Amino acid sequence: MQQILNTLIINTLYYSEPMSLLILSCHFKEPPCTIDRFMENPKTYFVRTYGCQMNELDTQIMTGQLEKRGLTAVCDEEEADVVIFNTCSIRDLAERKVMGKLGQLGRGKKRQIIGVTGCMAMAKKDSLFRKFPHLDFVVGTNNITDLGPVLDEVIYTQKQVYKTDDRFEENLDYLSAKRDHKVKAFVSIIRGCDKFCTYCVVPYTRGQEVSRPPESIIEECKKLVDDGYKEITLLGQNVNSYGKDEPSWNCLFHDLLAKIDQIPGIGRIRFMTSHPVDITKELMLAIRDLPSLCEFVHFPIQAGSNRILKKMHRIYTKEQYFEKVALLREIVPDVSLGTDIIVGFPTETEEEFLETYQAIEQIRYSLGFFYAYSPRKGTPAMRWKDDVPEEVKQDRLQRLLDLQEKIGNDLRKEKTGNTYEVLVERFNKDGKLLKGRTRRWEKVIFEGPESMIGTLQNVRVHSYHHETFLGTLVHSETKYHN
Ligand code: 5AD
Ligand code: SF4
């Protein structure tokens, strides 16, 4: 395909090692295929979301903008006038899924406007146009607020447009986000990450940490409470860093939590994700003292060997991590912990993997996400040979999955017979039993009327199946393990 770069407006341009971050708003002349399948007045949209909760929230913000323009959602992407892929780059598999889907789209008879947003937009930028000539726009993670103007530009110039700023500017219209759940909502408090773990693309795809002003967060939380939401999850790649980039606000993460806890009528507050280094004693005390703050911390260790942790640039040792866990458990006994683990990081030996295995055995997480290392372009780890064979990675993954299943079952056995406060979220998949979660993130299903959705109920858990407790409603005066 012959593409001539016609206009290249470089707003800012700077390079940062190891991946160059280029801030561009540009379009290409004479795209070979956009003109004949061009849509002037799009009426419907479909967004396919990949990856983490941050992406889910970005999708809600984007769909809020699309609906404000009068577009309505459709369930079939082949039918939509505007199709957006909100993408993830964290592992190779995530990118391959999107590439496969993008290849299939745009081949039908219907004229569609097709866009890529999210982390792949940042990682691949305009190279996506070369690979997928039927693509109309690429919008980066820091530009979701520009979706409307970009759509207009596509429509009026009939050119491929991309916008991928390196820095996030705090002007998002959070209040118009289109939420798909009536009980629980995500609220973004900080975007980006400054930690630069050597395996991770996030600092390059989402940029540096930018905290959102506390007033804006409180305003959104108040609105959500007024709208009847019972649980708010505060989101960020590293929520514990909140406020450090804006010392004049005098509002660190635990200060923010205290302010949100004060909102009249607030239900539950959760947060994710936490970097172990930034988990402070003040935060632990907040979990103990703030009634709305739930006792679950997703607190990824990533590896149990100090040599690997150092190579990952995790900036803590196994011993320091264990100390934090011990202090947290001393301050909040019965707190539940979650983790992420990467197996098969370059040069990881069997002995080093066993250190990870033993760390999990010792800590007894209630939730674990395990990943095989996937080399990512632009990260420092990419310079190292991906030398752990795929079969070895898969074997290590399986051993961790088996271990976690055993730990999870043991924890559930210990809890069986207790009564817990459950926030009822919806009907279970079977459409008969209600489904909710305890404060410690355990899933519970039980029999009850639809009117209980969105309420707190006391449920005695009498058994479990896989990761789900089965329970029965108990009268509210019964004592429960909050
Ligand atoms: N390969 C495998 N897993 C990764 N993660 C991040 N980058 C990679 C990678 N290159 C995992 C980490 C992180 C989670 C969201 O994804 O465990 O906590
Ligand atoms: Fe990635 Fe590390 Fe930042 Fe988490 S803390 S987003 S793993 S760079």
Q: What percent of the chain has pLDDT over 70?
A: 89
The reported pLDDT for the residue numbered 166 is 80
Least confident of 10-24, 110-124, 245-259: 10-24
The reported pLDDT for the residue numbered 461 is 98
**Closest ligand 2 atom, residue 196 Cα:** 8
Rounded CA separation 378/18 (Å): 6
Residue 291, exposed/middle/buried by CB under 10 A (0-12, 13-18, 19+)? exposed
pLDDT at 19 over 90: no
* Centre of ligand 1 from the C-alpha of residue 393, in Å: 14
The residue whose CA is least distant from atom 4 of ligand 2 is 237
pLDDT band at 476 (very low <50, low <70, confident <90, very high): low
Q: What is the pLDDT of residues 75-120, one digit of tens each?
A: 998 889 999 999 999 999 989 999 998 888 766 667 889 999 999 9
**Mean pLDDT along residues 458-477:** 91
* Centre of ligand 2 from the C-alpha of residue 237, in Å: 7
* Centre of ligand 2 from the C-alpha of residue 36, in Å: 43
Q: What is the mean pLDDT of the chain?
A: 89
The reported pLDDT for the residue numbered 475 is 73
Cβ–ligand 1 contact at 388 (below 6 Å): no
pLDDT band at 177 (very low <50, low <70, confident <90, very high): confident
pLDDT band at 302 (very low <50, low <70, confident <90, very high): very high
Cβ–ligand 1 contact at 373 (below 6 Å): yes
Q: What is the pLDDT of residues 381-430, one digit of tens each?
A: 999 999 999 999 999 999 999 999 999 999 999 999 999 999 999 999 88
The residue whose CA is least distant from atom 2 of ligand 2 is 197
Residues framing ligand 2 (Cβ under 6 A): 193, 195-197, 200, 202-203, 237-238, 275
pLDDT at 245 over 70: yes
pLDDT at 22 over 60: no
Total Cβ atoms within 10 A of residue 79: 13
CATH number of 179-294: 3.30.750.210
Class of domain 419-473: mainly beta
The reported pLDDT for the residue numbered 3 is 35
* Centre of ligand 1 from the C-alpha of residue 364, in Å: 20
Cβ–ligand 1 contact at 393 (below 6 Å): no
In the block, residue with structure tokens 């030398």:
387
DSSP string, 31-47: -TTTGGG--SS--EEEE
Length of the chain: 482
* Centre of ligand 1 from the C-alpha of residue 91, in Å: 7
pLDDT band at 431 (very low <50, low <70, confident <90, very high): confident
* Centre of ligand 2 from the C-alpha of residue 445, in Å: 34
Ligand in closest contact with the CA of 51: 1
329-415 has the same fold as 179-294: yes
Rounded CA separation 397/391 (Å): 10
The reported pLDDT for the residue numbered 295 is 98
**Closest ligand 1 atom, residue 199 Cα:** 10
DSSP state of 482: -
Cβ–ligand 1 contact at 342 (below 6 Å): yes
Class of domain 4-163: alpha beta
DSSP string, 291-320: TTB-SEEE---B-S-HHHHHHTT--S-HHH
Amino acid in position 94: A
Ligand in closest contact with the CA of 52: 1
pLDDT band at 24 (very low <50, low <70, confident <90, very high): very low
pLDDT band at 188 (very low <50, low <70, confident <90, very high): very high
* Centre of ligand 2 from the C-alpha of residue 216, in Å: 25
Q: What is the pTM of this model?
A: 0.89
Helices (H), 181-317: 202-205, 214-226, 253-261, 281-289, 306-311
The reported pLDDT for the residue numbered 167 is 73
Structural element, H or E, at residue 280:
none
The radius of gyration computed from the CA coordinates of the chain, to the nearest angstrom, equals 23
Q: What is the pLDDT of residues 207-231, one digit of tens each?
A: 999 999 999 999 999 999 999 999 9
The residue whose CA is least distant from atom 2 of ligand 1 is 373
The reported pLDDT for the residue numbered 105 is 75
Phi, then psi, of 128 in degrees rounded to 5: -65, -35
* Centre of ligand 2 from the C-alpha of residue 196, in Å: 6
Is CATH 1.10.3720.10 what the domain over 329-415 is classified as, yes or no?
Answer: no
Ligand in closest contact with the CA of 192: 2
* Centre of ligand 1 from the C-alpha of residue 377, in Å: 13
pLDDT band at 39 (very low <50, low <70, confident <90, very high): low
Total Cβ atoms within 10 A of residue 185: 22
Ligand in closest contact with the CA of 241: 2
- Domain edges within the chain: 4-163, 179-294, 329-415, 419-473
**Mean pLDDT along residues 140-153:** 91
